[in-house]
Structure 1
């Protein structure tokens, strides 16, 4: 299937950089918005992102780089957002052009704090984009392994199968396999929740729990994820599929996982602020934890999510991780 639509990627981080690399395999031109003008100048001169997965070498003739979000929106038919959820609303406030005739895909694993919504719902409610033109790009897939061209898998979810297929076609290559799904809400919530569970895995590791406990934690996490997603949006889905269980496992166990790293630092005694400062990267699960906890509290289903509750107590109530996880171990099976 020949793809004549123009693609634009929004975000200059590791995942945005990986997405541009994937699209560049199949396209003559890829639009790329990042607000860091010095990074843009470096990419144009040196052919790689100086701040994230800098091993990726770009053919700069294929890149339409801009620090003006409106320029990239206007020049693109399909918009792929990879801006951390905590900063998305502020970036979108710079828009002066409409998104209503665009196809919008989220590669963001989090909740928009200002609205409390997953990214797809945020675009639908605040930018009048129909759900058939909104999609999700999810893993299991780490940007660092894309940079190394290690075989990776992506799930492309959209209510409109044709839109899902065109994005899947644009991203696939010798080292990227793609599949499509119609579970846009479930896959997006799963992408958000797995970051919380990766923080839990990191905290456990930092506290000295071993592989035996980690396996029990992940087993309970996938069941908790199913309960959460079914409560929010019930439909027929296989929670053991790659977009759910696979993404959870790679984020919970991989050394590339920034959420696991963040949790590990918390387990070792770092404060939230000091861990964030030392990482110098955004751990999406931090923001997702509060949103998920508040949603379950609102639905009066908090008792169904003991792992999320434990992470919330550590991150937002400043409870002692050791004591919180001692109590959590009694609730797992």
Structure 2
């Protein structure tokens, strides 16, 4: 197998993962639309827009030519924002080789169609969806680039493809587990961004640790509920892609979703928050998708629904909290759909 790996695109996460691969002495080619960014990565070994102050491996090669990046690559890693995934894959279809393994590390949905990223990739490059590998888990790019100990999961319906991805990324500071539950890993990675927005908003409102702990716990219940309804294994939400990623995204200063929520909690309007971030905040788009999922599947997602009203209907965050706290009394352990519960316990 060739030791060449292509990475699309050169944002913070794509660059950090490319650096992991380069540390493993692979021939890594990262693609960017920006000639200026390509020049900076190749000559200065930095990506100052997305990872300021951090040095990249001198073995990492950047190019603005996607065909050059993917030709001869044993694996192609896609880390494009969810909003750009279909467009990037349309370009990739014209140059990807048939035997290249496709891995994606994007945590979101296509808002218009509500499709997971593996579905979008499959449609555009004509690959069996189950052969695609999903990389997810608790992992800030800002820490991965500093080689802080990090543990993630790769999921695929093709165990051999998952194990190949595991071997590509695994090293002394980047530990990788495999998982067969692609649906659960993708849903967990995307939906936790909503709860991270809510956690930031709670902090911005000054509500303290009690409120945030409740938000994370009940948020995980929501994520698990809709995930199981959509075909995921409930145990996935107790793992790295679920509670692990939720904790790191909802409690860290590195989290764009937490920072965006914090500013909203302080009273800043959404347009101002987004313009100040300078990078994609996936939780905004994902909240819209989750609201649609709740309606489509008839699954209660009160936190996601209240965040939808705050983000897109100008509801005051404090009023949203009052609405959550004032709901009718419930039991803590909501009942799963019986057939889904039996599916995982027989």
1:25-82 CA-partner distances (Å, limit 9, x unpaired): 113410111111101111111111121223432343x233211223323342311111
2:160 corresponds in structure 1 to 162
2:280 corresponds in structure 1 to 282
Equivalent position SS for 1:239: helix
When normalised by structure 1's length, the TM-score is 0.93
Deviation for aligned residue 1:96:
5.7
Show the 5 A alignment for 1:77-226: 77-95=74-92, 97=94, 99=96, 101=98, 102-226=100-224
Q: What are the ranges of 5 or more consecutive residues in structure 1 without an aligned counterpart?
A: none
2:335 corresponds in structure 1 to none
- How many pairs align? 328
1:250 paired with 2:248, answer yes
When normalised by structure 2's length, the TM-score is 0.90
Provide the C-alpha distance between the structure 2 equivalents of 1:226 and 1:96, rounded to a whole number of angstroms.
34
Deviation for aligned residue 1:208:
1.5
Equivalent position SS for 2:311: helix
2:68 corresponds in structure 1 to 71
Provide the C-alpha distance between the structure 1 equivalents of 2:256 and 2:39, rounded to a whole number of angstroms.
27
Contact 2:28/2:60, CA 8 A, preserved across alignment: yes
Equivalent position SS for 2:167: helix
1:35 paired with 2:56, answer no
Provide the C-alpha distance between the structure 2 equivalents of 1:276 and 1:250, rounded to a whole number of angstroms.
21
CA gap 1:231/1:75 in 2 versus in 1, 3 angstroms: same
Deviation for aligned residue 1:133:
2.1
Farther-moved stretch of structure 1 (85-94 vs 162-171):
85-94
Provide the C-alpha distance between the structure 2 equivalents of 1:235 and 1:241, rounded to a whole number of angstroms.
11
Deviation for aligned residue 1:116:
2.2
1:311 to 303, 307, 320: 307
Deviation for aligned residue 1:5:
4.6
1:23 corresponds in structure 2 to 21
CA RMSD of aligned residues (A): 1.8
- The runs of at least 4 consecutive aligned structure 1 residues that moved more than 4 Å come to none
Contact 1:55/1:147, CA 8 A, preserved across alignment: no
2:262 corresponds in structure 1 to 264
Provide the C-alpha distance between the structure 2 equivalents of 1:159 and 1:82, rounded to a whole number of angstroms.
20
Contact 2:3/2:26, CA 8 A, preserved across alignment: no
